[in-house]
C-alpha cells in the first residue's frame, strides 16, 4: 500500500497548524537528547527535529496503525539522532561492533562467572581490536568525564596556558645556555642559584678557594650573557 500524502488531503492552513501544535514535542525531545548526549547542541537538535516533524506530518498514514502522536514522536527523535550520527567522526559500523562486543562480554560473564578480558574478546572477534582503536582515537574528550587510562594533565590551573608554555620554553632556553658552560662553571651556577650556597660553601664543596669560586661565577655570568644575547640565526 502506498503511503498517503497528507499534503493532498489536509488544507495548507490545517497542515501548518498541525505542525505548530507539535513544536513543544520537538523541544521536549531535543532537551531530553541533549541531556543524554554530552556536547550536543540544543539548537541543532531542534532544527533537525523540525525537519523530521514536517516529514512526519506529510508522510503520516493512519491506515498503517500507529497514532499520529506516536509516529511523529518517533520520526522527530530519529531525525535528531541521525543528525548526531552525521557529526560523529566514528562510523556507526564501528560503534555497532563495540556495542555488540560489550553485550557479548557481559553475557559470557553471566554464564561463566568471570568477565572476559579485552584480549579474550579480540581473540573471539577479530574486528574488535581495530574498531576499538578507531573509536578511542576519534572520540573527543569531554570535560565532564574522566580522562582515559594512562592519560594525565598538569594540576596547575592558576596560570594562563600560553604563559605556562612560554615559561617552559624559557626554561629550556636557559638550560641550553647552561650547557654551553664548562663543567666547573655549571657547578658553581647550580650551587649558587639553585642550592642557595654561598661562594665560601661552594669553594669547600668543589675543593677550591672562595676567590676561585668567585672568578668562576663571574666568568659563568659573562659567558651566559654572550649566549643569551647573541643574535638568533635564521
In order, the DSSP letters of 117-143 are PHHHHHHH-HHHHHHHHHHHHHSPP-T
CB-CB contact of 63 with 1 (8 Å): yes
pLDDT the model gives residue 154: 55
Residue 183 pLDDT exceeds 60: yes
Tens-place pLDDT, residues 186-218: 899 888 888 888 988 998 888 999 899 899 999
Which pLDDT belongs to residue 50? 93
Say yes or no to pLDDT of 28 above 90.
Answer: yes
Task: Count CB neighbours of 194 within 10 A.
Answer: 8
- The Cα 93–Cα 137 span in angstroms is 15
Asked whether the predicted pLDDT for residue 13 surpasses 60, the reply is yes
* Residue 160, CA distances (Å) to 166, 171, 205, 212 in order: 10, 17, 40, 43
pLDDT tens digit sequence for 37-72 = 877 888 989 999 999 999 998 888 888 878 888 999
**What average pLDDT does the structure give for the chain?**
79
For residue 133, what pLDDT is reported?
Answer: 79
Of 89-93, 111-115, 183-187, least confident by mean pLDDT is: 89-93
Which pLDDT score, from 0 to 100, does residue 234 have? 42
Distance between CA atoms of 80 and 4, rounded to whole angstroms?
A: 24
**Is pLDDT larger for residue 189 or for residue 177?**
189
**Greater confidence, 185 or 143?**
185
CA distances (Å), origin 67, targets 9, 71, 72, 202: 17, 6, 9, 90
pLDDT score of 232 more than 60: no
Amino acid at each position: 500500500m502506498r503511503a498517503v500524502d497528507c499534503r493532498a488531503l489536509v488544507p495548507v492552513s490545517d497542515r501548518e497548524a498541525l505542525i505548530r501544535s507539535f513544536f513543544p514535542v520537538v523541544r521536549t525531545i531535543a532537551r531530553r537528547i541533549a541531556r543524554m548526549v554530552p556536547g550536543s547542541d540544543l539548537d541543532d537538535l531542534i532544527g533537525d527535529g523540525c525537519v523530521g516533524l514536517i516529514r512526519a506530518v506529510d508522510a503520516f498514514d493512519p491506515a498503517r496503525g500507529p497514532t499520529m502522536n506516536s509516529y511523529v514522536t518517533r520520526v522527530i527523535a530519529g531525525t535528531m539522532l541521525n543528525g548526531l550520527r552525521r557529526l560523529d567522526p566514528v562510523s556507526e559500523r564501528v560503534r555497532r561492533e563495540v556495542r555488540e562486543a560489550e553485550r557479548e562480554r557481559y553475557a559470557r560473564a553471566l554464564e561463566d562467572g568471570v568477565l572476559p578480558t579485552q584480549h579474550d574478546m579480540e581473540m573471539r572477534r577479530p574486528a574488535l581490536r581495530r574498531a576499538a582503536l578507531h573509536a578511542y582515537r576519534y572520540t573527543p574528550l569531554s570535560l565532564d568525564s574522566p580522562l582515559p587510562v594512562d592519560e594525565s594533565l598538569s594540576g596547575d590551573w592558576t596560570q594562563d596556558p600560553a604563559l605556562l608554555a612560554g615559561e617552559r620554553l624559557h626554561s629550556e632556553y636557559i638550560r641550553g645556555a647552561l650547557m654551553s658552560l664548562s663543567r666547573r662553571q655549571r657547578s658553581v651556577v647550580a650551587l649558587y642559584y639553585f642550592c642557595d650556597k654561598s661562594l665560601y660553601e661552594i669553594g669547600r664543596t668543589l675543593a677550591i678557594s672562595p676567590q676561585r669560586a668567585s672568578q668562576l661565577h663571574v666568568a659563568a655570568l659573562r659567558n651566559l650573557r654572550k649566549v643569551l644575547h647573541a643574535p638568533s640565526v635564521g
